[in-house]
Chains A and B, each alone.
Chain A
Amino acid sequence: MTLWLVLAVNSITFGGLLFLLSAGFSLIFGLMRIPNLTHGSLFMLGAYFGATFIGGYLALHFDFWIAALLAALLVAAFGAVVERLLLRQLPGQPLAQVLVTLGISFMAADFCLLVWGGDPINVATPAHLAGFVRAGPAVFPLYRLAVIVIAMVIALALWLLLDRTRLGAMIRAGVDDPDMARVVGIRVSQLFTIVFALGSGLAAFAGIIGAPILSVYPGLDQDMLPLALVVVILGGSGSLLGSFVGSIIVGFIYNFGQALFPELAYFVLFMPMLLVLLLRPQGLFGRFVP
């Protein structure tokens, strides 16, 4: 019983982290139709920058949350530059986009190795969240519960942004029908930059929020990217609700799958993705067929 409860809570935590990572991925894919394979790298860059700000390099010692925000802004700016200078040149060429984003992810990985070396970096859990919550025999790390709250807050903020603001309405219009959106005077190209920067920043934020659990190490990008892909394919691209539900589902599949069928850990994770691709290619909540 305790095992099930612990697994369930961990599933939601991991789902929350995946949501932060994949919400941006989903929006970018939904709006721009770009399969952004640098998304794992943006996660890793965020984690490395955040760890650097916290760790006290260059005589800087930032609070965890300020470091997370700074890292997110920095990577968002990087994302905007990548979108403006590179992806802008390749509209409607999925193969070129895949190659360019994959190439950037390799370059980012080598950049991290060059700057931070190969040693894994340990990011301390923020002191005020370091404790435990005990529920009977089960022990829940406070930080994991906090990740759930953070994911909820971000999800709510994103929903408000997309559903209640003018910018959100423009983004939704762009996702649904970019050509018509242009006709009615929405500057879709500007939206692209905003969404790409937002997605990049969110991925970086996820990286640093995940760092106290996952630590920061070379290869983190390649560990996380497939999970983001599964979430987006499962939930449907361009849909916030899709990423949210997809993340939670993947969180549960990941935790319960590994605990109950460890030999089939990957099979259990990727099987639902295959089924969705075969039976409902647009994903559970997707608006269009990728």
Chain B
Amino acid sequence: MSVKVTRRKFMAATAAGAALAAVKFPAPAIAQNAPFKLGLLTVKTGPLAQGGIQMEQGIVTFLKEKNYTFAGRKVEFISADTGGNPAGTKTKAQELIERDKVDTIVGPLAAFELLAITDYIAQQKTPLLSLAAAEDMTQRRPNPYFLRASATSSQAMHPMADYAAKELKLKRMITISEDFAFGYEQMGGFQQTFEDNGGKILKKLWPPIVTPDYAPYLAQIADCDGVCQGFAGSNPLRFLKQYAAAGLKFPVVTGETGGDDALLRSFGDEAVGLYSACPYTLDLNTESNKRFVAAMNKDYGVDPGFYCAGLYVNGMVVEAGLQKTGGKSDDKTALMAAMKSVALTDTPRGPIKFDHLGNVIGEIFIRRVEKAGNKYINKTLKTYHNVSQFWTYDEKKFLEQPVYSRNYPPLKS
């Protein structure tokens, strides 16, 4: 459907461009009643499709709610499937920007997709709102055209560690997460805050992303107070199942991907008792969240999770930014500045604003999985307010330390 439309637009745009080039005339100032073009980079095929499809559902839900109109302008929505790989993401980003002439892009999903296009985005000066959590995108190597309304990898893990140390009174923990940057950054953040609160990380385990059987790692989990896992995609499901099957009973804490509300429909009894820290929680009692959840239930018959909510919030930020510019989107730098200055009081994840690096400051919810009837729910236990990517650390000092990695912070012997 969208292919047909965009192809026609493409032909028209090419013809118009050729005509303009021929007469060397400046482009006529098209009035602001031309549609605002919003591009989505997501993954609809392959192993990452689960999160990618939820992303599209989230943004479409918001667009429908607004009747495809932002600040009085019609919104033309163009969805592109990156296939979940960097090369595909680059191609699709180029198509969106150069062929479809989008004004703003939401997505992509994964950090390695984002890293493939970050330079290109900055060069094209196209505002990009992504869920990808790569810390340095808003820390040591910020991109002025990048805005993140979700969270950095460690943004939810700092409060999780705080909660694990202070409220759960855990002292000695083992971390386990996928052997890639998102895992390192999550576990690094957890370790730093956990150790600052008197805890100790005994061991850090890093299974490869593709690990059908976690048994060799589970065999190494023993003699501790708790386990922190940072799995994403379908891995949390398999990990918890095998964890329970191996007879392990230590409490498990995790971040937004490991305890996502959207995973609850796949979980079994083994998930009960799982603590997670997440920038979104299904049971948040705000007007916009009720609206959002009701629309998701109605249109897709599912409870939304973090990916859906992330894109819905991205949509709200784009709309609010466009309102600030009075509906103008020609000047991308001004549009970007307007979006960055957006502060919303009611979103499905509570109030949000952005720091000067383009990363969100907002709520982080600590939840626990419980069984309610024949389904599982995340019950919110505690809300940390105004959590920034630097947690309680001084920004300057935080940025002086290296980005969280496999070996940073180092294990204390």
What is the interface of chain A, defined by CB distance below 8 A to chain B?
Answer: 3, 6-7, 10, 13-14, 109-110, 113, 117-122, 124-125, 132, 139, 141, 143-144, 210, 212-215, 217-220, 222-224, 227, 254-259, 262-263, 265-266
Task: State whether A120 touches B234 (Cβ < 8 A).
Answer: yes
Could you tell me the distance in whole angstroms from the C-beta of B330 to the nearest C-beta in chain A?
37
Given A120-B266, A122-B237, are A259 and B213 also a contact pair (CB < 8 Å)? no
Task: State whether B246 touches A141 (Cβ < 8 A).
Answer: yes
What residues of chain A lie closer than 8 Å to B247, measured between beta carbons? 132, 139, 141
Task: State whether A110 touches B45 (Cβ < 8 A).
Answer: yes
Interface residues of B in 69-91 (CB under 8 A from A): none
A113 to B50, CA, bound (A): 9
Could you tell me the distance in whole angstroms from the C-beta of A20 to the nearest C-beta in chain B?
13
What residues of chain A lie closer than 8 Å to B212, measured between beta carbons? 210, 214, 220, 223-224, 227
What residues of chain B lie closer than 8 Å to A122, measured between beta carbons? 237, 241, 266-268
Looking at chain A's contact residues, the main secondary structure is helix
Task: State whether A3 touches B219 (Cβ < 8 A).
Answer: yes
Task: State whether B213 touches A215 (Cβ < 8 A).
Answer: no
Most chain B CB within 10 A, of A14, A210, A259, is at A259
Task: State whether A217 touches B234 (Cβ < 8 A).
Answer: yes
Of B59-67, B201-209, B343-351, the stretch lying at the interface with chain A is B201-209
What residues of chain A lie closer than 8 Å to B26, measured between beta carbons? none
What residues of chain A lie closer than 8 Å to B179, measured between beta carbons? 262, 265
A219 to B45, CA, bound (A): 10
Could you tell me the distance in whole angstroms from the C-beta of A255 to the nearest C-beta in chain B?
4
What residues of chain A lie closer than 8 Å to B49, measured between beta carbons? 113, 118, 218
Extra inter-chain contacts (4) besides given A214-B213, A219-B210, CB under 8 Å = A125-B245, A215-B234, A258-B217, A262-B179
A217 to B246, CA, bound (A): 21
What residues of chain B lie closer than 8 Å to A218, measured between beta carbons? 46-47, 49-50, 234
Could you tell me the distance in whole angstroms from the C-beta of B142 to the nearest C-beta in chain A?
31
Could you tell me the distance in whole angstroms from the C-beta of A141 to the nearest C-beta in chain B?
4
What residues of chain B lie closer than 8 Å to A258, measured between beta carbons? 207, 211, 216-217
Task: State whether B216 touches A7 (Cβ < 8 A).
Answer: yes
Task: State whether A119 touches B262 (Cβ < 8 A).
Answer: yes
Task: State whether B219 touches A120 (Cβ < 8 A).
Answer: no
Task: State whether B216 touches A118 (Cβ < 8 A).
Answer: no
Does B401 sit within 8 A of A, measured CB to CB?
Answer: no
Q: What are the nearest 5 A-B pairs in CB distance?
A: A219-B47, A118-B50, A120-B234, A217-B234, A139-B247
What residues of chain A lie closer than 8 Å to B237, measured between beta carbons? 120, 122, 215, 217
A125 to B245, CA, bound (A): 9
Residue of B nearest to A258 (CB): B216
Interface residues of B in 207-249 (CB under 8 A from A): 207-208, 210-213, 215-217, 219-220, 233-234, 237-238, 241-242, 245-247
Interface residues of B in 257-276 (CB under 8 A from A): 262-263, 265-268
Could you tell me the distance in whole angstroms from the C-beta of A6 to the nearest C-beta in chain B?
4
A239 to B47, CA, bound (A): 33
Does B53 sit within 8 A of A, measured CB to CB?
Answer: yes
Count, A-B residue pairs, CB within 8 A: 116
Given A262-B206, A262-B207, are A10 and B213 also a contact pair (CB < 8 Å)? yes
Task: From the candidates B45, B219, B233, name the one contacting A10 in the complex (CB within 8 A).
Answer: B219
Q: List 20 A-B contacts (CB under 8 A).
A: A6-B219, A10-B213, A10-B216, A109-B46, A110-B45, A117-B50, A118-B50, A118-B53, A124-B268, A125-B245, A132-B247, A144-B215, A213-B242, A215-B241, A218-B46, A223-B212, A259-B220, A262-B207, A262-B217, A263-B206
What residues of chain A lie closer than 8 Å to B46, measured between beta carbons? 109, 218-219
A98 to B229, CA, bound (A): 38
What residues of chain A lie closer than 8 Å to B207, measured between beta carbons? 258, 262, 265
Residues 176-213 of B, flagged 1 when their CB comes within 8 A of A and 0 if not, give 00010000000000000000000000000111101111
Residue of A nearest to B210 (CB): A223
Most chain B CB within 10 A, of A120, A141, A213, is at A120
What residues of chain A lie closer than 8 Å to B268, measured between beta carbons? 122, 124
Task: From the candidates A3, A212, A223, name the one contacting B220 in the complex (CB within 8 A).
Answer: A3
What residues of chain B lie closer than 8 Å to A263, measured between beta carbons? 206
Could you tell me the distance in whole angstroms from the C-beta of B94 to the nearest C-beta in chain A?
24
Could you tell me the distance in whole angstroms from the C-beta of B229 to the nearest C-beta in chain A?
15
A72 to B262, CA, bound (A): 30
Could you tell me the distance in whole angstroms from the C-beta of B264 to the nearest C-beta in chain A?
10
A217 to B215, CA, bound (A): 18
Residue of B nearest to A137 (CB): B222
Task: State whether B50 touches A259 (Cβ < 8 A).
Answer: no
Could you tell me the distance in whole angstroms from the C-beta of A175 to the nearest C-beta in chain B?
29
Residue of A nearest to B219 (CB): A6
Task: State whether B238 touches A214 (Cβ < 8 A).
Answer: yes
Could you tell me the distance in whole angstroms from the C-beta of A56 to the nearest C-beta in chain B?
12
A75 to B50, CA, bound (A): 25
A217 to B88, CA, bound (A): 22
Task: State whether A213 touches B245 (Cβ < 8 A).
Answer: yes
Task: State whether B242 touches A262 (Cβ < 8 A).
Answer: no
What residues of chain B lie closer than 8 Å to A257, measured between beta carbons? 216
What residues of chain B lie closer than 8 Å to A254, measured between beta carbons? 213, 216
Residue of A nearest to B268 (CB): A122
Task: State whether B238 touches A215 (Cβ < 8 A).
Answer: yes
What residues of chain B lie closer than 8 Å to A110, measured between beta carbons? 45
Could you tell me the distance in whole angstroms from the C-beta of A120 to the nearest C-beta in chain B?
4
A132 to B338, CA, bound (A): 59
A117 to B50, CA, bound (A): 7
Could you tell me the distance in whole angstroms from the C-beta of A148 to the nearest C-beta in chain B?
13
Could you tell me the distance in whole angstroms from the C-beta of B411 to the nearest C-beta in chain A?
14
What residues of chain B lie closer than 8 Å to A222, measured between beta carbons? 47, 210
A224 to B212, CA, bound (A): 8
What residues of chain B lie closer than 8 Å to A124, measured between beta carbons? 268
Residue of B nearest to A216 (CB): B234
